[in-house]
Amino acid sequence: MISAIDLRAGNTVIYEGELFIVHEAHRVSKGNWRSYVQTKLKNFKTGSIIDARFGVDDKLDVPFVETRAYEYLYPEGDHLVVMDLESYDQIPLDKDLVGDGLKFLRPNEKLSCQIYQDKVVGVELPNTVELLVKDTPPVVRGATATNQSKDAILETGAKVKVPPFVEPGEKIRVDTRTGEYVERVR
């Protein structure tokens, strides 16, 4: 059990029978009113973020969530097949657990999986990945007065806005959380 006043971003808690990760938690005191803790909680199962308010003395259950390293192998229907890097067991993962990061995932990519009661409840991709640019339109010469970007199609099929100097065949680094171009890899 953890007291609501001790909640910090990154804590995992059980709230209303569901597993949540704390995104934000801060104490609020308004004059003569009782203090409370205002939080933003992300549901592990659905990915939705909710606002929750707790009294400073409220207690929440803290589940044991294990984080393990996995390697993505290949897609299979509505699932992704991943391999545990310690035991070499292969398990299917629901594609919804990866979410939008799926478009940046390629075989042999390392993942971190959160496991609760022998079930994978969350998947984290690396913050950035290096991907090959397959196709991008040619640069319009002389149009340098404004900050330009162009669409690039990556080896995984994802579309990303890139600067005009990026050409097909080059590797770029992409942020998997935002889906944005970070830099060209030399």
Which structural domains are found in the chain, ordered by start? 2-60 (2.30.30.30), 66-124 (2.40.50.140), 128-184 (2.40.50.140)
CB 74 within 8 A of CB 107: yes
Alpha-carbon distance of 91 to 80, in angstroms, equals 8
Distance separating alpha carbons of residues 116 and 12, to the nearest angstrom:
11
Residue type, 28: V
Q: How many CA atoms lie within 13 A of 8 on its CB side?
A: 2
Instruction: Give me the amino acid identity at 35.
Output: S
Sign of the Cα pseudo-torsion (82, 186, 173, 127, in order): positive
Cα 182 to Cα 163: distance, rounded to the nearest angstrom: 10
Residue-wise pLDDT for 118-171, tens only, equals 888 888 899 999 999 999 988 777 655 567 889 999 999 999 999 988 999 999
Q: Measuring CA to CA, how many Å separate 35 from each of 27, 29, 58, 95, 145?
A: 7, 5, 11, 41, 53
pLDDT per residue as tens digits for the range 23-69? 889 999 888 888 999 999 988 777 789 999 999 889 999 998 899 99
